[in-house]
Copies of this chain bind each other. A is one copy, B any other.
């Protein structure tokens, strides 16, 4: 669903390095260390449970597609597609996003409706400017609703999902900018932009989140040969943003209301705002006429979520700035893969997880929070020598009872070293075997935090460990 989010995130890699001293296996890619994987899993947990809460199925597609499947879908960005070497057989390329494979999947299987999510890595031959942390391999988390439905109902749910995920990730306040391609095109038409220039002028407008209107106007007039008065008319529109009241106002706009496309788009946005109000998220939404989105395939409503209060540190480029989720409606893409050109309307969203990983890591780091990389509940330890067999017997009992347990791979480990291992790895409990305990048929259960020890009857040990470690793992 997403143009550049995953790729556009900044400085992530430096942070990774600096956190773990892990270097990627090559420029533009990286290994995930256990610590990074722990953060990644927590973020994915939040996202996936939301997707499932909204009744999504899940699919997966191969990492490579036929080259021809990808060609002609990404405009000038096509140069960033990774091709496989021709070693005989079909020509293959690594997927560039998850949206084109999804559309190919729908057409190939003649599916007319599905609500699915897909979380997987995509690949772009970006010149890895590591100072900006662009990856050549990065995750996308896509949720899409395909099918012919009553207007704006799936679109509203996509925005609800975005807000639920961004709220529960606790990465700071955010705002979701919303616009509609039909409004943009209608606006261009009434401002006097020639049809042939719609797309290129659209991409100029898309830059308004980074540069001033003057610079954008110069590009339109200077580079793209638009008449200055035309540009000014556009300027009057694209500098406006607001809530549903702005929609109402534009519906009364003498010129815009005469344009069929714009009228459709505005009518749908009005309906969308009604639904978003019922969903309790209207206050998060801003109708922003400067939002254009890069990708060509959008045909209706488009949206992009930005963070408002980046949790940045002094002297650092705030990681939070910029887009963390985006999406929109694309009703024409599936038809491109159907022999008969049958259309399947689609709307979806994509979460910019790579940037979110960095933000969450930065936060955990700022809080100096220790991230556990295992879930081990108890270490099976011994107080004296010659108790290896007993340790193996006990840990086997615990594993078979579903307890997460470890022991040191040493015949006669010192008790101190065993306790230290728990401190280092965050294991909360130690089950200590001693000769006396064996005689008494008990195990000494020690809490690493409080250091207090109690004798537990061996047959009660599993229940006691479960009782003491039952609290759920926190999500970030």
Contact = CB atoms under 8 A, between A and B. Distances in A.
A27 B66 CA distance: 10
A403 interface: yes
A52 interface: yes
B63 A63 contact: yes
B406 A62 contact: no
A252 interface: no
Interface in A113-145: 114, 116, 121, 123, 125, 137, 145
Given A149-B410, A396-B160, A409-B150, A109 B22 contact: yes
Given A53-B405, A55-B404, A396-B278, A104 B25 contact: yes
Contact of A153 (B82, B375, B393, B409): B409
Nearest to A52: B375
A227 B34 CA distance: 52
A394 to B, nearest CB: 10
Contact of A34 (B59, B375, B400): B59
Interface in A404-430: 404-406, 409-411
A13 B52 CA distance: 27
A86 interface: yes
A56 interface: yes
Contacts of A89: 27, 125
A154 interface: yes
A422 to B, nearest CB: 11
A29 B108 CA distance: 14
A392 interface: yes
A60 interface: yes
Nearest to A397: B280
Contacts of A399: 53-54, 160, 164
B57 A409 contact: no
B84 A396 contact: no
A56 to B, nearest CB: 7
Contacts of A3: none
28 contacts: A24-B62, A25-B69, A25-B108, A26-B66, A26-B92, A30-B62, A31-B105, A31-B108, A33-B109, A34-B57, A34-B58, A34-B114, A34-B116, A55-B404, A56-B374, A58-B373, A63-B63, A63-B121, A63-B123, A83-B87, A84-B85, A85-B86, A147-B409, A149-B409, A150-B410, A153-B409, A164-B400, A275-B392
